[in-house]
Amino acid sequence: MRWKLLRRRLSISAPRMIVRSHLPWPLRWIVFALMLGFSAAIGLWAFEFGKDIAGLDRNAKAELAELRIEVAKLRSEREGAQSIANTAESLLRAEKAAQEKLAQQLKQVEAENLGLKGDLGFYQRLLPAAGNDSLSVRALQASAQSPTQTRFQALLMQIGKNLPEFAGRYEVLLTGTLDGKPWTLALPGGPKPLQVKQSLRLEGLIDHPETAVVKTLQIKVTDKQGAVRATQTAKL
């Protein structure tokens, strides 16, 4: 009986046996992770070894170094160009400001020049003629104050030594056209009395029709006997 049981166990018809591992699951995962890490390290080593054999890594490093040098050079050139551009812009602004200042100074000098010319002309008109010790009208000016008024001013001068005071009259006469015809107008009220020792300023306004075209203004000075002593005419 025992022989039969032993033969059954050793024969093909004997019951199957299952061999189970007694390793816990955490240890299995650690072993699996170590295998994966080892495989990855071998693969990376093989990749780097292949790059070294092919010479790709050395060329890439050399090219990267050259590119870094080129970038640094270009950056330096750009900064230099930017500095030059900023300097040029500053110079242009300074030059523009200087030109504007010179233009203002030139305008000021021109205005002063015109003023000096005007003053010179005025004083030249005040100067008496050579050898003339008589009464004269100087610096006569006439201008349109409004469409119906004309302003005049003049300086009456008596040049000479130890001359007596002059007493006489002066009258103002406007000439021009009115409605296309010749026209004259005297100072309202007729000749005005005056007295002058050395100089006398004459000025005033004359009213006239709005349609009148005034072309000249004349001042005439006469003595008490009616003799003309001085005249001066100004054009408008």
Question: pLDDT tens digits for 164-213?
Answer: 888 899 999 999 998 888 989 888 888 889 888 888 888 888 898 988 88
pLDDT in tens, 42-99: 766 666 656 565 555 556 667 778 888 888 888 888 888 888 888 878 888 888 888 8
d(CA 50, CA 44): 10
User: How do the domains of the chain map onto residue ranges?
Assistant: 135-235
135-235, CATH topology level: Immunoglobulin-like (2.60.40)
pLDDT in tens, 57-68: 556 667 778 888
d(CA 234, CA 173): 11
Span 20-26, mean pLDDT? Answer: 59
What pLDDT shows up at residue 133?
Answer: 45
What pLDDT shows up at residue 131?
Answer: 42
What pLDDT shows up at residue 175?
Answer: 92
- Per DSSP, what are the bridge partners of residue 232? 219
Cα angle 127-153-175, degrees, rounded to a multiple of 5: 105
What pLDDT shows up at residue 4?
Answer: 58
Q: In residues, how long is the chain?
A: 236
% of the chain with per-residue pLDDT over 70: 71
Q: Which of 32-36, 64-68, 139-143, 175-179 has the lowest mean pLDDT?
A: 32-36
Span 123-128, mean pLDDT? Answer: 52
Cα angle 77-78-84, degrees, rounded to a multiple of 5: 90
Backbone angles phi, psi at 83, to 5 degrees: -65, -40
CA-atom Rg of the chain in angstroms: 60
DSSP string, 12-73: TTSPP--------HHHHHHHHHHHHHHHHHHHHHHHHHHHHHHTHHHHHHHHHHHHHHHHHH
SS3 180: coil
**Is it the case that residue 132 has pLDDT exceeding 50?**
no
Name the DSSP letter for residue 128: P
Greater model confidence, 118 or 153: 153
* Contact of 14 with 8, CB cutoff 8 Å: yes
Token pair 């010790």 is found at 133
Name the DSSP letter for residue 234: E
* Alpha helix segments (H runs only) across the chain: 2-10, 25-54, 56-126
* Average predicted confidence (pLDDT) for the chain: 77
Please report which confidence band the pLDDT of residue 227 belongs to, taking 50, 70 and 90 as the band edges.
confident
